[in-house]
Amino acid sequence: MELVSKMEAQLPIPARSTTALERLMKEQDVRSPQQLQIKHVFYGGDDGGIMCDVTVPDAKEAIVCSITQLHVSRSHPLDQEIRAYYRC
């Protein structure tokens, strides 16, 4: 929960999607932009983990995914903490 609070303080956070998320967006007829913006972040419980809203303008529905489906820039102040979260 501490990482969620830190991320909320940094919103929006620029990120790139993983290949799996790009495929999912394509299946929903959403063009995945080169750069996404994490607009909202919340804890989805033990099963969901940290969830991020990266809805793009042309999406018909909200696009919410796990933080593990996103790549935050190595230059972002929370990069190391987010990468550590991936390994948990």
Query: Distance between CA atoms of 46 and 11, rounded to whole angstroms?
Result: 23
pLDDT band at 45 (very low <50, low <70, confident <90, very high): very high
pLDDT band at 80 (very low <50, low <70, confident <90, very high): very high
pLDDT band at 21 (very low <50, low <70, confident <90, very high): very high
Decide the pairing of beta strands 13-17 and 36-38: antiparallel
Query: Distance between CA atoms of 1 and 50, rounded to whole angstroms?
Result: 9
pLDDT band at 30 (very low <50, low <70, confident <90, very high): confident
Q: What percent of the chain has pLDDT over 90?
A: 68
* pTM for the structure as a whole: 0.88
Closest CA to 15 of 28, 27, 2, 32: 32
